[in-house]
Each structure stands twice: as C-alpha cells, then as structure tokens.
Structure 1
Amino acid sequence: MNSTATADQAPLTNFTQCHAGIVRRLHALDELPALLEPAMRARRIAEESLAFFREAIFEHHLDEERELFPAVLASAEPGPERERAQRLVEHLTTQHRQLEALWRSLERELKRVARGQDSELDVGDVRRLVADYTAHARLEETEFLPLAETILGRNGNHMAALGLSLHLRHAPQPVPYV
C-alpha cells in the first residue's frame, strides 16, 4: 500500500518540483532590475568615451603638437632649456602615439559595449589606458606646462600668438557664398 500511495502522489510531486524551478527562475528574474542600471551605465560610459576620445583627446593632442610644442621650442633659450623642452616634447609626442594606439585597440569592443552587445573588452588594457593617460597628464602638468609658462611668459606676444592660433584653429569657419 505504501508503494501505491507513492505512485499516486507522483503527479503532485512533479508539480511541486516544477514550482520549485519556477520560483528559482523568478528569483533570478528579480535580480534583473539591479543589473539593468549598471548595464545602461556601461553603455553610456562607452558611448560617451568614444565621442570624447575622438572629439576632445585627439584634438587636444593636435593642439599641443601643432601649436604649443612648436611655440615653446621656438621661444626656448638655446642650450639646456631648449634641450629639456625638446626631450619633453619628444617624450610627450611618443606618449600621444602610444595612447592613441592603445585607444584604437579598445575602440571596436567599446563600440560593442555602447550598442549593448556582448564584448571581449580587455579590462587590463582599459585600466592601462587610464593609468598611462593619468601619468601622461601628470607629466604635462608638473613638468612641461610650468616650463612652457616660463618660456612663453617671457614675451607676452608669444603667449598672445599661441592664444590667437588656438582660437583660430577652433573658430567656426565661415561658409563661402557661392
């Protein structure tokens, strides 16, 4: 009689097991809202970073290399000052190329993240880009820009010329009338 009772309860046991599976899935679903916000944030950060790097950082490097670095080198006093400025300019320019290359290696996967697609983004390279760029900016802030201020500050015309050059480079270009 015991085995008959167990056989008779089998359909109910199947429902109970089914409910346990359903409840387990519902608990997993309940985690979804907490995961959506970080996923949306990841997409937004990737999207904004893509635009920012292309529009701001690449332009910043061009400004330095086309305007600031040549102005400093042209105004530096011959000898140790010019040699120091030259070494820094060469080092900073090399860093620009390295940072840009690292960025390009990340760009494709960042686009996938921005679109909410699965990605194999190299987290180590992201961290390396952040650390390397932070160190680059620190070098500019602590060594090159104070030197540039000393060199260009000797002659107000040099500083004004740099300001005008940067302004003209970023000013909207007039549309010719045809």
Structure 2
Amino acid sequence: MTRPDDTPAAQQPLADFSQCHAGILRKLDGLEELPALLAPAARARELAECSVEFFCEAIFEHHLDEERELFPAVLTSATPEERGRLQAIVRRLTDEHRALESLWKRLEGDLKRVAKGQAFEVDTEALQTLVSQYRAHARYEEETFLPLAQAILGRNGDHMAALGLALHVRHTPMPVPAYV
C-alpha cells in the first residue's frame, strides 16, 4: 500500500490551485459590485450630456435674448431717473453672464468626455462655483431686475408687445426657399 506524501513540497501543487481560487473569488467579489456601479455611471454620462446640450442650446441663447432684446427694451422704455440704476443692473447681469460662460468653458471639455464615458474627472470646485453663482445670478435677476422690467415695460403695452414680437422673430426659424 502506498501512502500519500504529506510533506509540504508534495502538497504545493494543490496549495497553488487553492491560492488561485482565492484570488479568483476576490476578483469575482469585485465583479459582483459592477451592476450597482453601472447605474450611477450611466446617470453621470446622462447628466453630463444633458448639461452640455442645455448650456449650449438654452443658457447661451437665454443670455443673448436678455442682452439683445430684454435689456435694451427696458433701458429704452425707462425714464431718465430710472436709467442710471438700470444701466448698473444691466452691466452687473452682463458681467455675470460672461463670468458664468467662462466657468462653463472650463468645465465643458471634461463634461463632454464624461458624457462619452471617456473620463470621470471633473473640476468639482469649478462645478460647484458655477452652480452657486448661477443660482445667485438668477435670484438677483428674479428679485431685482425682472420686477423693475415688469413695471417699466408694463406702463406701455406696446413696449411689452414689441419685446414679445422681437423674441418670437428671433426664435422662429427662417423658411428655406425651395428651388425647383
């Protein structure tokens, strides 16, 4: 009868398999976490993509609407006594637009890469600054400028109608002539 060799050297091949299994099981534990991580990663890509589209299509357009249509309409309709204060408010809002747009430009490339799943690094400090400054900008505009604009443009219905028409024309696509 032959007895198995109980020396450590004789058991080494089996120990190697056992160690290999331990390593495989550790990797499988990590792999098991993947489904829980996919949803947040997909949400990050979606948020980044929507933010890029929104800034490029809506926010920049909004700033242009204010600067080309709203601000001039209010300034033109203001009394001489109102004009100095309004000019300071409009200057502040326009300066804030440029600062916010500059912050956005710093973030845009990283967000585009996140949207494509290429990177997950974003300047979080700049992102938080953008969000907090935009909230403050919107709050100031809502609480200070827009009530003043309503009072000034509301004194003459034609002025409000002219602003509405200017905005409509600005956002209505021009028909493309058909060539036959």
TM > 0.5 fold call:
yes
Deviation at 1:17, TM superposition (A): 1.0
Q: Matches of 2:161 and 2:119 in 1, distance apart?
A: 49
1:94 corresponds to: 95
What's the % identity of the aligned pairs?
63
Structure 1 segments unaligned to the other structure (5+ residues): none
Q: Matches of 2:14 and 2:89 in 1, distance apart?
A: 79
Paired residues for 1:154-165 under 5 Å: 154-165=155-166
Structure 2 segments unaligned to the other structure (5+ residues): none
2:58 corresponds to: 56
Q: Matches of 1:120 and 1:35 in 2, distance apart?
A: 16
Deviations 1:42-63 (A, max 9, x none): 1111111111101000000000
Q: How many residues are aligned here?
A: 175
2:121 corresponds to: 120
Query: Are 1:134 and 2:135 matched, yes or no?
Result: yes
Q: Matches of 2:7 and 2:164 in 1, distance apart?
A: 92
2:177 corresponds to: 176
1:22 corresponds to: 24
Q: Matches of 1:9 and 1:176 in 2, distance apart?
A: 86
Deviation at 1:4, TM superposition (A): 5.1
Deviations 1:43-96 (A, max 9, x none): 1111111111010000000000000000010111112x2111111100000000
User: Which of 15, 37, 43 is equivalent to 1:13?
Assistant: 15
RMSD between aligned residues: 1.3
Deviation at 1:172, TM superposition (A): 1.7
The one-letter code matched in structure 1 to 2:69 is E
Superposition TM-score, scaled by structure 2 size: 0.93
1:107 corresponds to: 108
User: After the TM superposition, which parts of structure 1 deviate over 3 Å for at least 4 consecutive aligned residues?
Assistant: none
Paired residues for 1:143-158 under 5 Å: 143-158=144-159
Q: Matches of 1:18 and 1:177 in 2, distance apart?
A: 71
1:83 corresponds to: 84
Deviation at 1:114, TM superposition (A): 0.9
User: Which of 29, 35, 38 is equivalent to 2:37?
Assistant: 35
The one-letter code matched in structure 1 to 2:86 is A
Deviation at 1:175, TM superposition (A): 1.6
